[in-house]
Structure 1
């Protein structure tokens, strides 16, 4: 189907086009003005590794170091970036998320590890909200809870604070910015859905229309000739012979050859056998 035929088909169903157009305008208006806007504010923290546990030689030189508790289980990991992954999972968990929402944080906040700076020791927090103030508040609540979780997960064996990972901010939190990509995606989705609905309704209308207007053509009557006159019924195949043993079909008209000088004199024939 070329564009001209497609345009003609669409123009033939103006009511359907008008109805779908109203639905699309209403849906886009709801997305643009009915759904609350989304704001985001981002902060990044780098985890500073603590010093290693004192060696035996250091303890011999300074016996007071033997009383220091350096039993931090995360110091025994071969890759310190695991601390960031564990911390992100803890703060993103359901229990912590419910607590933060109860305190006033937005439920859509995110916390994840990033390789923007360092070797996997940077954690990124994105505070979300339906207003700039809400996004800022969410970022503050999540950041404070992140520091608390980082401290508690390293204190399982009572390690001294000197031997704990510490989160330091890289840059100040960014100003809340309205997120328009989600709104644009929603507008495109609504428009595409209405376009599919339009062609679906037109296809149904095109399929139903011919069925309603289709008429049943009667079968031709074999007794009616092409000229419109009714012909004589066909002669029966087998008929009883007439008296004398002759069949009516054997009677023929024989015209005798009669010479006559009168051109207007009619010539009459007589049936044979009389």
Structure 2
């Protein structure tokens, strides 16, 4: 659409468009300043293999051979299996419900580390405030450590034969995600555009209705003007006589009033009446 046409339309219907635009602007400012915010914090763990006793240590410490070393993940051909299991446990609905019961956010992600490293787990917690995001991430870190130990001790393996989680970076601060506020602003702008188009449609509808009413009034006035001369002729051709008053004679071209030289008496009126009957 031509920008000049848009400007002319806005100016023509400014009574309807400008209030809609003002409401939209106020809504955008309110959402951007006071709308819900979205914070994010990150935490990373490295899965560390257990330190198995060497033959020398077994000879020097015979009691090590009596320890339960039945960790099923030590027998796996895929060393990253433990990481996938822990991620699956954290992604369960039970963990999300547990976070909700503590007043934390259930919006989080747990993934493998950079480039899909099988021994690194990255936790990303979200929240409506910085404190909630940090608390959610820390709670997930604690849950990861607990789940990591639980899945390995299914057969009662000793702690010496368990994978451990080493914190790479702790959640020290949460950063605000402006994309969330930007999405809210975009939604408000779309709503404002719909409101503006609705205002234009309403203005055009009222304008068309007003034009129709004016056309009907004009047509009615023209019809009345065309029929008025006939009515005037039929009503104005009758002479009027009034004793002791002015003598009025009307013609089709218009009323002509002449004041008589004397006052008509009742006898003069009767003689005029007889002459008219003849």
Do both share a fold (TM > 0.5)? Answer: yes
Residue matched to 2:181: 183
Unaligned 5+ runs, structure 2: 220-278
TM-score (norm 2): 0.63
**3-state DSSP of counterpart to 1:127:** strand
**3-state DSSP of counterpart to 1:71:** coil
Q: In the TM superposition, what is the alpha-carbon distance from 1:136 to its structure 2 partner?
A: 2.7
Residue matched to 1:202: 200
Question: Aligned equivalents of 2:81 and 2:15: distance in 1?
Answer: 62
- In structure 2, the CA distance between the partners of 1:59 and 1:53, relative to structure 1 (3 Å rule), is closer
RMSD across aligned positions (CA):
3.5
Which of structure 1's runs of 4+ aligned residues deviate more than 6 A? 52-55, 58-63
Unaligned 5+ runs, structure 1: 219-274
Residue matched to 1:37: 37
Residue matched to 2:172: 174
- In structure 2, the CA distance between the partners of 1:155 and 1:54, relative to structure 1 (3 Å rule), is farther
TM-score (norm 1): 0.64
Question: Aligned equivalents of 2:11 and 2:71: distance in 1?
Answer: 75
Is the contact made by 2:20 and 2:196 (CA closer than 8 Å) also made in structure 1? yes
- In structure 2, the CA distance between the partners of 1:30 and 1:78, relative to structure 1 (3 Å rule), is farther
Question: Aligned equivalents of 1:65 and 1:36: distance in 2?
Answer: 57
- In structure 2, the CA distance between the partners of 1:137 and 1:12, relative to structure 1 (3 Å rule), is same
Question: Aligned equivalents of 1:70 and 1:16: distance in 2?
Answer: 79
- In structure 2, the CA distance between the partners of 1:175 and 1:61, relative to structure 1 (3 Å rule), is closer
Residue matched to 1:81: 80
Question: Aligned equivalents of 1:189 and 1:144: distance in 2?
Answer: 37
Residue matched to 1:263: none
**Mean alpha-carbon deviation: is it higher for 126-135 or for 158-167?**
126-135
Residue matched to 2:24: 24
**3-state DSSP of counterpart to 1:5:** helix
- In structure 2, the CA distance between the partners of 1:155 and 1:15, relative to structure 1 (3 Å rule), is farther
Aligned residues: 215
**Mean alpha-carbon deviation: is it higher for 125-134 or for 138-147?**
125-134
1:105 aligns with 2:98: no
- In structure 2, the CA distance between the partners of 1:85 and 1:10, relative to structure 1 (3 Å rule), is farther
Q: In the TM superposition, what is the alpha-carbon distance from 1:151 to its structure 2 partner?
A: 0.8
**3-state DSSP of counterpart to 2:166:** strand
Residue matched to 1:9: 9
Question: Aligned equivalents of 2:193 and 2:160: distance in 1?
Answer: 63
